[in-house]
């Protein structure tokens, strides 16, 4: 089974209002899982929301330096909360033969949730990385873990080694 890892909106402009230690913890999990994926030749895709970008704000839309982006990773831009909407994400995943998606990133109540739902609507088996999502509202993280399918990194390690 081919697995894909989506890292959504880990950009300076979208992380304002979230405490640095909280961001660092999520980055640690995201980077660890990303490296597990790369070591097994699985796909890591960084999604960047560029809605409202201007030439003068370009730097604020960059992926934060705490997130490791490697040459083999794919980068996709979007202008909507659902990373599937008006992008080539679905076709890219199908071309890669991906059936199962793990989603991490920011913001749990918007882009993460809408992309999660978009993946399910398109027939992908989809889960959210435990400790790998962010929000300016802590209660959103709790409810996301309660109401959605989540996965821990030891289970990911097991799946990648099958």
Q: Where are the domains of the chain?
A: 2-160
pLDDT of 52 reads 84
Alpha helices, DSSP H, located in 10-97? 20-39, 89-96
Query: CA 94, CA 67: separation in Å to the nearest integer?
Result: 25
Q: What is the pLDDT of residue 162?
A: 83
Please list the ranges in the chain whose pLDDT falls under 70: none
pLDDT at residue 57, rounded to an integer: 83
Q: What is the pLDDT of residue 56?
A: 82
> Quick one: CATH architecture of 2-160?
3-Layer(aba) Sandwich (3.40)
What does DSSP say about strands 2-8 and 43-49: parallel, antiparallel, or unpaired?
parallel
Which burial class, exposed, middle or buried, applies to 51 when counting CB atoms under 10 A from its CB (0-12, 13-18, 19+)? exposed
């Amino acid at each position: 089974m081919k697995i894909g890892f989506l890292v959504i909106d880990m950009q300076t402009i979208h992380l304002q209002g979230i405490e640095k230690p909280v961001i660092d913890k999520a980055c640690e999990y995201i980077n660890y899982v990303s490296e597990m994926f790369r070591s097994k030749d699985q796909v890591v895709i960084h999604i960047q929301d560029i809605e409202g970008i201007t030439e003068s704000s370009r730097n604020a839309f960059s992926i934060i330096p705490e997130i490791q982006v490697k040459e083999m990773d794919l980068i996709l831009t979007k202008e909507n909360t659902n990373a599937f909407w008006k992008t080539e994400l679905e076709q890219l995943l199908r071309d890669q033969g991906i059936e199962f998606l793990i989603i991490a990133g920011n913001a749990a109540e918007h882009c993460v949730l809408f992309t999660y739902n978009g993946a399910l609507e398109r027939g992908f088996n989809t889960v959210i990385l435990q400790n790998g999502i962010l929000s300016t509202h802590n209660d959103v993280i709790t409810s996301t873990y309660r109401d959605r399918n989540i996965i821990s990194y030891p289970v990911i390690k097991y799946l990648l080694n099958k």
